[in-house]
Amino acid sequence: MSTSPTLPPLSLYIHVPFCVHKCPYCDFHSTVEKNIPLDSYLAAVKSELAFWRQNLCDDNRPLHSIFFGGGTPSILDGETIGQILFEIKQLWQLSPKGEITLESNPESCNPQKIEQWLHSGVNRLSIGIQAFSQKRIDSLGRPHSLAEAQQAIKYSRQGGFSNINLDLMFATPSQSIKEWQEELAEAMSWQPQHLSCYSLTIEKNTPFAKLQMQGKLLNLSEEDEIAFFTTTRQTLESAGWQGYEISNFAQPGQECQHNLNYWRSGDYIGVGPSAHGRLTKIENNIITVERIINKTIGYKDGSWLQEKTICSTTESGNDCLMMGLRTREGMSRKTYKNLSGADLLTQQPEIVKELQSADLLTVTQEKIALTNKGVLLCDTILEKLIT
């Protein structure tokens, strides 16, 4: 018996586009401002939130999670974060266990701010440590020191945060596997609830891309990339961490609810310059997905601008596949069918069979997931499955 589709959980992302310094590998939308135009930014955020509530998302779903990302949200003090959260709570209800994450950088964490953030309602702190070695922090051109990184974790604990993520980067310039293992060991010794481990990616039009073109920064070979990735998984999983997504590891029950909602094809409101939103609409049992992309202009004068597009069923199915296969649990076949209009198994029977016999994919009644071997070939597998 088929059941009617229902709306997925709804999350909210707020982009804070200010940084104290531009890191040479970064292509996120952020600017370095001598005087942050806080009043104009807040006015634009408040007006955009109200617009979403009145014109785009007028159903009564509570918010599943809120995420302050950037840029450097920790540039903002607790009062400002509190003002934004107050505004949000005037417009939406927050789920009882609603996760509220704030991304922070070590140089802008201090005991007073940490206490204020917690007091304002933030219940998860994600700290951009990136490396546990002064040499590698310098090689990444980060604005903080190792001592500041260690202090930020200490302050967060002492300040009362019981849900802490550390962001780490591997395959950084001239890093060996042994050095990465030592950094992972230090990360675990701080006993965070969550670790995000991403490889350094050289993005176009960044200072690192220029260095690479001049031959001053070597591209990692595929074998090296696999070695770093495998070391990360083996080291963390043998120590009891659950690798629930390609780059994310959690203590049992401490998975990031906000990101899980993205990977499970949930909906999200995106506020702030460059933020993206996604909304599911259901009419007569037919699902459509809208994408809302914010321009980077405005915000300094209280204005903002967004562009809305309707995704085709093929696009929605492909997004579901690309996000779902990143997770250990895999992609929901039902969600894929609701979004794309077809079961992947009937759509791509030969390819699915071939990937199963090569031990790259597992298929159950509910899910399609990559095997340990398949995870290493995620991009190639996606290329084959995407329609």
Least distance to ligand SF4, CB of residue 54, Å: 31
Among positions 312-371, residues that touch ligand SF4 (CB under 6 A) are none
Which of 8, 71, 243, 324 is close enough to bind ligand SF4 by CB under 6 A?
71
> Least distance to ligand SF4 from the beta carbon of 149, Å?
13
The dihedral through the CA atoms of 48, 271, 92, 163 has a sign that is negative
Q: Tell me which stretch binds ligand SF4 (CB under 6 A): 17-25, 191-199, 253-261, 360-368.
A: 17-25
CB 21, min distance to ligand SF4, A: 7
Examine residue 106 and tell whether it contacts ligand SF4 (CB under 6 A).
no
Greatest C-alpha distance within the chain: 61
Burial class of 119 by CB neighbour count within 10 A (0 to 12, 13 to 18, 19+): middle
**Candidate residues 101, 105, 265, 340; the one interacting with ligand SF4 per rule CB under 6 A:** 105
> In 3-state terms, what secondary structure has residue 372?
helix
Give the residue, chosen from 8, 70, 270, 374, that forms a contact with ligand SF4 under the rule CB under 6 A.
70
Report the half-sphere exposure of 354 (CA within 13 A, side-chain side): 7
Least gap, CB of 30 to ligand SF4 (angstroms)? 5
Give the nearest distance from C-beta 72 to ligand SF4 in angstroms.
Answer: 5
Burial class (CB in 10 A: 0-12, 13-18, 19+), 2: exposed
Q: Which one of 70-78, 118-126, 244-252, 342-350 is the stretch in contact with ligand SF4 (CB under 6 A)? A: 70-78
CB 140, min distance to ligand SF4, A = 9
Q: What are the structure tokens assigned to 179, written together?
A: 């050095």
Contact flag: residue 23 with ligand SF4 (CB under 6 A) = yes
Angle in degrees, CA 80, 8, 285, rounded to 5 = 140
Applying the rule CB under 6 A, the residues between 107 and 166 that interact with ligand SF4 are none
How far apart (Å, rounded) are the C-alpha atoms in residues 214 and 225? 21
Residue located via tokens 């531009």: 22
Nearer of residues 23 and 168 to ligand SF4, judged by Cβ: 23
List the one residue out of 6, 4, 11 whose CA is nearest residue 260.
Answer: 11
Interface positions with ligand SF4 (CB under 6 A): 19, 22-23, 26, 28, 30, 70-72, 105
